[in-house]
Structure 1
Amino acid sequence: MMMARLVRVMRIFLCGDVMTGRGIDQALPHPCDPRLHERYVQSAIDYVRMAEEANQPIPTPVDFPYIWGAALQELERVRPDASIINLETSITRSDAYVAKGINYRMSPENADCLVAAGVDCCLLGNNHVLDWGRAGLLETLATLDSLQIKTAGAGRDAVQASAPAILADTDAGRALVFSFASKTSGVPRHWAATHDRAGVNFLPAFSDATVAAIAALVAAVRRENDAVVVSLHWGPNWGYDIPEEQRWFAHELIDRADISIVHGHSSHHAKSIEVYKNRLILYGCGDFLNDYEGIKGHGEFRPDLAVMYIADLGPGSDLFALELVPLQIRGFQLIQTANSDVAWLRQTLDRESRQFGTCVGTAPGGRLALSWPTM
């Protein structure tokens, strides 16, 4: 159950990877050319067909709110001050694809689906935002700007790519959101933005020097009462292991840069959660939307289960409460989760999080809640 706002609280909605390209783009009203450059699939329409064969017919074309499904009611219920997603899709009709095996894009005309969910910020520091080259990235930035959706993690040059999105200018302060793309998630070094070239805010290493650089970036723009989110696209797609270097890096960001939330993503499934010095660390948020229905393999990780993370931050940016809302991707839409799947997710996240002293328990309405020892 979310806490009543009896004290000054900033409420932030976070999730993992949102992939509105390929099959989902084809299901929306204004799809791109469906031709793909993958080894096994040559048309994005095939992803629609596979999803329908696996689950149910999709009433194409769907309207923009359709893909968010049950998440819209949850967002209306919790009314976050800031809604943040990791957009792993280029918004472009460019044909200048990068030969990398998998390329995600949706048409600029379909980007209104992001408005339908009230998205405040799209994180672009990831390994798919340049799938259609720098022309695709520039069109992505222009489209999101026209929709008044803020971005972080990529830009027309290094200055823009490293700048934070500034959200939720409320009585509780602002939310500053920094986004970084780590080479550990498959981001090539040459995607890095430079002083005269568009690209991502590239994270070269989990090192003292990197922590110091991030601390300096934060200090240059931070005001009193600001909450700071550092969003990291890091690590592989599958597996629950948390490398020691990731945990060290997250702790150092909190210790030396006073980060409020470390927001990790890249894994296709939810991973463990830690609260360190009353600050939230999400090691992997999993996919929030994808077109994987009907694709075989890795079923033991349940990539069809999506999670909404609703974080309440109090004075000093300490974590007051974290609610997790389990959902399921079915028919390219987020739907309510069966009780058995909620139980599986709770047991899995609780098992993985207990190594860090946090516990995941049940909450009313088929939701979950985090508990942790307070300092």
Structure 2
Amino acid sequence: MAVTVALAGDTMLGRGVAARIGAGGRARELFGPEVRAAAASADLFVLNLECCVSDRGEPWPEPGKLFFFRTPPAAAGILAELGVDCVTLANNHALDYGFDALADTLAHLAAAGIRTVGAGAGLEAARRFEVLEAGGVRLAVVGVADHPPDFAAAPDRPGTALADLRSGVPEWLEAEVGRAAAAADAVLVTPHWGPNMTARPPRYVRRAACGLLDAGAALVAGHSAHVFHGVAHGVLHDMGDFADDYAVHPVLRNDLGLLFLVTLAGGAPAEGAPAEGAAPGRAPGGRTRPVRLEALPLVLGTGRTEAARGEAWEWVHDRFARACSEFGTAVAAEDGRLVVDWS
């Protein structure tokens, strides 16, 4: 049995994107036809939602915090229309408008049939994994963030699942991944880690990725940098942006991104020594594991994400191939997509 999972990074539906949604924009206005078709071709779709889904709340009272992202309740329906099955809220914008807005976010997404991980009404709920199922394959999803500490959930306080990954994978997270592995055929861990606008993952992220695979994850898909990084076997260090209205970095080009499609299948674990700092790519006991990655290059406008063409496509291809080569990963081009063979 096999399952294909669509994976997208930072999805910010606030500010200019929220204005389009508030004016009646639907998925077809926010996402081009090839993007929607690629998402629809997957069996499951998981992304990082970097905004509150609410029309309530006040900006989080943190001195020096510059950005506050909130999108209308209609955004939940747009994500459902796009085929999103689960979002992680473990990031630095889940509480941008306080506890009421987080509660609204959870309620609106649930009403739209979208699961959530990485945040909740208390510590246990924030850390809890969700199990998605498609094609007879059960995929457990775990969401965590390594920042900011003031958003962290506590036993009697709503917030995010905070994990200090700079010191390695904490014991509670190892245990949660182990429980998820026992409850499903494969585990996806989706961490919000590392600083913004970096060309490659910091060393602690690479170490944490290895630790998460050792704990039982079959696939690690990270986000936070707003630009995509290279992949190792079973590890997407950073998926970059999927939807936003951010200012464009002149060198790293966060207006160009990728929508990932990862196929997981049963079989013996992959062998071979990884490059330094790369994840070994073994699923415990030869269980369901990633065997193929396809990525659709994207162009991100203000509230409109479309498939890349021409010079933009070439830029994404060259940047991704170079970034992957640092992990010993070869990238091929097939029918307008970038492909990594892990079989």
Q: Normalising to structure 1: TM-score of the pair?
A: 0.81
Deviation per CA, 1:26-52, whole angstroms, max 9, x where unpaired? Answer: 111xx3xxxxxxxxxxxxxxxxxxxxx
RMSD, aligned α-carbons:
1.7
Greater CA drift, 105-114 or 226-235: 105-114
In structure 1, what is the equivalent of residue 150 of structure 2? Answer: 190
Deviation per CA, 1:236-287, whole angstroms, max 9, x where unpaired? Answer: 11121322221111112112x1211111101111111111xxxx10111111
SS at 2:165 equivalent: coil
Structure 1: 5+ residue stretches without partners: 1-7, 32-59
Instruction: Please tell me whether Structure 1 or Structure 2 has the larger radius of gyration of its CA atoms.
Output: 1
CA contact (8 A) 1:225 1:317 kept: no
In structure 1, what is the equivalent of residue 245 of structure 2? Answer: 291
Percent of counterpart pairs with the same letter?
30
Query: For 2:141 and 2:51, how far apart are their aligned partners in 1?
Result: 19
In structure 2, what is the equivalent of residue 201 of structure 1? Answer: 161
Query: For 2:235 and 2:123, how far apart are their aligned partners in 1?
Result: 26
CA contact (8 A) 1:65 1:113 kept: no
Structure 2: 5+ residue stretches without partners: 267-286
Q: Verify: 1:69 aligned to 2:32, yes or no.
A: yes
Cα offset for 1:219?
Answer: 2.5
Query: For 1:166 and 1:12, how far apart are their aligned partners in 2?
Result: 13
In structure 2, what is the equivalent of residue 258 of structure 1? Answer: 216
Cα offset for 1:110?
Answer: 3.5
In structure 1, what is the equivalent of residue 236 of structure 2? Answer: 282
Query: For 1:231 and 1:86, how far apart are their aligned partners in 2?
Result: 8
Query: For 1:208 and 1:344, how far apart are their aligned partners in 2?
Result: 34
In structure 2, what is the equivalent of residue 3 of structure 1? Answer: none
Query: For 2:177 and 2:140, how far apart are their aligned partners in 1?
Result: 8
Cα offset for 1:146?
Answer: 1.2
CA contact (8 A) 1:96 1:133 kept: yes
Query: Which letter maps to 1:298?
Result: H
Deviation per CA, 1:195-241, whole angstroms, max 9, x where unpaired? Answer: 1110000012333561x322211233434761101111011111213
Deviation per CA, 1:59-115, whole angstroms, max 9, x where unpaired? Answer: x54334321223112223x2x221001000101112411142110001113321111
Q: 1:218 to 1:209 in 2, by over 3 A?
A: closer
SS at 2:326 equivalent: helix
Deviation per CA, 1:288-307, whole angstroms, max 9, x where unpaired? Answer: 00012xx3x51211111121
Q: Normalising to structure 2: TM-score of the pair?
A: 0.88
CA contact (8 A) 1:68 1:334 kept: yes
In structure 2, what is the equivalent of residue 181 of structure 1? Answer: 145
Q: Verify: 1:16 aligned to 2:4, yes or no.
A: no
In structure 2, what is the equivalent of residue 219 of structure 1? Answer: 178
In structure 2, what is the equivalent of residue 4 of structure 1? Answer: none
CA contact (8 A) 2:186 2:289 kept: no
CA contact (8 A) 2:90 2:117 kept: yes
Cα offset for 1:170?
Answer: 3.6
Alignment match of 1:325 (pick from 296, 299, 304) = 296
Deviation per CA, 1:294-324, whole angstroms, max 9, x where unpaired? Answer: x3x5121111112111000111222211000
